[in-house]
């Protein structure tokens, strides 16, 4: 039996809006209450706020290899999409690139306090080794000790090919598993077209059939500007109408972005049971909109937080994007309090993955947690250290990160891999 206790914290954030003091104890990777701590490994949290491990509900890890490309910043999405597609074609997306990009993106995530990443992988050259690409991403996560939700996406792929690939990936990564989550909870598989602007009804239906067969979650992107414009041009309908017609408004579905939604659409989304993911670090700097998060939450939707990928948001720093989400919320409604946005980055994202055991530090939850040092000058004068996690120190990184009861970041450094090696290997592949 492995027992670990985190002791001496300034504050412990158990769940959204629930803060306490005292120890955090975990046994065999699970948060417990009242364990025998006689022989426990003690992690000193003096001067730190302890939070659940953050959950990035929407990333594109492949784009870690395509950051700050010329001609891809501050442009309409109609221009951005083909620019990125050309870059992928030029690079030659294969298992090697997929694995190296995922390794770098996941390392960055852990070093930023993110313990679970949902990777919506959308780039699958026709005829490529799709199972090999999925295996490479999964191996990168396993080697680093990060939790991965691998989403077999589609972006203008042949519908039949996409569905066959998704089926093969599930059987390769999670053989004999129903529900799409590995027995240890470290790997999950989901499916998701890029959006109605990109994929036809057949893709949504066929990937939905794969999801139904294996009990997978479904994910897609909706109601960014281009999504609305193309849906109206092509179908004469808005994206939410199409998703409803195509069977993609349901409790197992998560919709990312949702920048341009009406009050009526929000009510329909809430009634359907879908969850939402806010991605301000992508949508705001690119000028693609701001999701009305306050209205979504007030309507009863669970809302998570994602960074999106390096092609539009050059950082995978979810806490920084939580800060941005809090700040820009005042542009589309009442400002969101820091505690609520922090909850979106943890429990809210986890709920959208169908994983209530993640994103919390309550008994029975997984032992994924971060220690954030709030004793330095960046936090001097801060009255509420939990709110200060977002308001102060925009580039804040955790001192210690624990995943499944195992320390994977110690004193700001990875314990499971060499950061310099990760960087050099990706740059070597990018230069090629």
Mean pLDDT per 10-residue section of the chain, whose length is 432 residues: 95 95 96 90 97 98 96 90 94 97 98 98 96 98 98 97 98 95 98 97 98 98 93 98 98 97 98 98 91 97 97 95 97 94 98 98 98 98 98 96 98 98 97 90
Q: What is the pLDDT of residue 139?
A: 98
User: Does residue 127 fall inside a structural domain?
Assistant: yes
Kindly give, in sequence order, each residue whose CB lies less than 8 Å from that of residue 353, ignoring residues fewer than 6 positions away: 55, 57, 116, 118, 149, 188, 190, 217, 254, 304
Contact between residue 26 and residue 367 where contact means Cβ atoms under 8 Å apart: yes
Q: What is the pLDDT of residue 118?
A: 98
Segment (H or E) for 73: none
**Residue 61 CA from chain centroid, whole number:** 10
Do 12 and 156 reside in the same domain of the chain?
Answer: no
Segment (H or E) for 28: none
Kindly give, in sequence order, each residue whose CB lies less than 8 Å from that of residue 75, ignoring residues fewer than 6 positions away: 83, 286
DSSP assignment, residue 181? B
Evaluate the CA torsion angle 331, 332, 334, 340 in order and state its sign: negative
Q: What is the pLDDT of residue 403?
A: 98
Evaluate the CA torsion angle 72, 74, 75, 81 in order and state its sign: positive
Do 380 and 282 reside in the same domain of the chain?
Answer: no
User: Does residue 276 fall inside a structural domain?
Assistant: yes
Do 107 and 27 reside in the same domain of the chain?
Answer: no
User: Does residue 315 fall inside a structural domain?
Assistant: yes
DSSP 90-132: HH---HHHHHHHHHHHHHHHHHTTEEEEEEEE----TTS-HHH
Q: What is the pLDDT of residues 316-331, one digit of tens each?
A: 999 999 999 999 999 9
Do 182 and 214 reside in the same domain of the chain?
Answer: yes
> How far is residue 389's CA from residue 424's CA, in Å, rounded to a whole number?
31
Do 391 and 248 reside in the same domain of the chain?
Answer: no
Q: What is the pLDDT of residue 50?
A: 98
User: Does residue 277 fall inside a structural domain?
Assistant: yes
Here the CATH number for the domain that contains residue 78 is: 3.20.20.140
Describe the crossing of helices 130-144 and 95-111 by its angle, rounded to 10 degrees: 30
User: Does residue 432 fall inside a structural domain?
Assistant: no
Here the CATH number for the domain that contains residue 409 is: 2.30.40.10
DSSP 324-382: HHHHHGGGSSSPPPHHHHHHIIIIIHHHHTT-TTSS--STTSB--EEEEE--SGGGTT-
Do 67 and 43 reside in the same domain of the chain?
Answer: no
User: Do you know the residue count of the chain?
Assistant: 432
Of the residues 352, 386, 403, which one is the last residue of a structural domain? 352
Of the residues 333, 352, 371, which one is the last residue of a structural domain? 352
Q: What is the pLDDT of residue 36?
A: 87
Average pLDDT of the residues of the chain? 96
Do 16 and 60 reside in the same domain of the chain?
Answer: no
Do 34 and 116 reside in the same domain of the chain?
Answer: no
Of the residues 311, 331, 352, which one is the last residue of a structural domain? 352
Q: What is the pLDDT of residue 24?
A: 97
User: Does residue 423 fall inside a structural domain?
Assistant: no
Q: What is the pLDDT of residue 227?
A: 93
Roughly how many angstroms between the first and final C-alpha of the chain, as a whole number? 47
Do 252 and 179 reside in the same domain of the chain?
Answer: yes
Do 223 and 180 reside in the same domain of the chain?
Answer: yes
Our count of domains for the chain comes to 2
> How far is residue 270's CA from residue 224's CA, in Å, rounded to a whole number?
18
Q: What is the pLDDT of residue 152?
A: 98
**Strands, sheet with 11-15, edge to edge from the N-terminal-most edge strand:** 18-20, 11-15, 48-52, 369-373, 400-403, 406-410, 413-414
Do 240 and 273 reside in the same domain of the chain?
Answer: yes
User: Does residue 357 fall inside a structural domain?
Assistant: no
**Strands, sheet with 41-44, edge to edge from the N-terminal-most edge strand:** 30-32, 24-27, 3-7, 41-44
Tokens of 34: 């009242």
User: Does residue 430 fall inside a structural domain?
Assistant: no
Three-class SS state of 195: coil
Contact between residue 325 and residue 280 where contact means Cβ atoms under 8 Å apart: yes
User: What range does the domain containing 12 cover?
Assistant: 3-52+363-414
Phi, psi (5° rounding) for residue 102? -65, -40
b/e 172-199 (16+ beta carbons within 10 angstroms → b): ebbeebeebbbeebbbbbbbbbbbbbbb
Q: What is the pLDDT of residue 285?
A: 87
Query: Which residue has 């309090």 as its token pair?
Result: 337
Do 95 and 180 reside in the same domain of the chain?
Answer: yes
């Amino acid at each position: 039996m492995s027992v670990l206790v985190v002791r001496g914290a300034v504050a412990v954030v158990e769940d959204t809006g629930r803060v306490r003091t005292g120890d955090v104890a975990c046994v065999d990777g699970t948060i417990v209450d009242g364990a025998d701590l006689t022989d426990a490994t003690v992690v000193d949290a003096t001067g730190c706020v302890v939070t659940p491990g953050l959950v990035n509900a929407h990333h594109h890890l492949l784009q870690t290899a395509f950051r700050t490309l010329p001609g891809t910043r501050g442009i309409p999405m109609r221009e951005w999409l083909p620019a990125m597609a050309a870059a992928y074609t030029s690079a030659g997306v294969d298992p090697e690139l997929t694995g190296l990009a995922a390794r770098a993106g996941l390392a960055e995530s852990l070093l930023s306090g993110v313990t679970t990443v949902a990777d919506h992988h959308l780039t699958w050259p026709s005829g490529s080794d799709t199972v090999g690409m999925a295996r490479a991403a999964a191996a990168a996560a396993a080697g680093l000790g990060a939790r991965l939700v691998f989403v077999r996406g589609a972006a203008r792929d042949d519908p039949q090919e996409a569905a066959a690939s998704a089926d093969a990936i599930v059987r390769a990564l999670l053989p004999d598993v129903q529900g799409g989550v590995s027995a240890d909870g470290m790997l999950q598989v989901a499916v998701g077209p890029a959006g109605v602007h990109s994929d036809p009804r057949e893709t949504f239906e066929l990937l939905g059939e794969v999801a139904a067969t294996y009990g997978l979650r479904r994910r897609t992107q909706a109601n960014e500007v281009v999504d609305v414009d193309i849906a109206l041009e092509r179908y004469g309908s808005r994206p939410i109408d199409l998703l409803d017609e195509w069977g993609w408004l349901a409790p197992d579905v998560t919709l990312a972005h949702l920048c341009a939604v009406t009050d009526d659409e929000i009510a329909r989304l809430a009634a359907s049971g879908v969850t939402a993911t806010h991605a301000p670090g992508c949508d705001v700097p690119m000028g693609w909109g701001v999701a009305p998060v306050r209205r979504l939450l007030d309507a009863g939707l669970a809302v998570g937080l994602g960074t999106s990928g390096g092609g539009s948001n050059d950082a995978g720093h979810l806490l920084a994007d939580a800060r941005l989400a809090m700040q820009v919320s005042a542009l589309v409604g009442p400002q969101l309090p820091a505690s609520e946005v922090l909850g979106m980055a943890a429990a809210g994202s986890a709920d959208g993955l169908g994983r209530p055991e993640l994103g919390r530090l309550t008994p029975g939850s997984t032992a994924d947690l971060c220690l954030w040092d709030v004793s330095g000058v960046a936090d001097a004068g801060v009255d509420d250290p939990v709110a200060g996690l977002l308001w102060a120190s925009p580039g804040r990184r955790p001192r210690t990160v624990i995943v499944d009861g195992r320390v994977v970041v110690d004193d700001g450094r990875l314990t499971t891999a060499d950061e310099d090696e990760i960087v050099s290997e990706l740059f070597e592949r990018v230069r090629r």
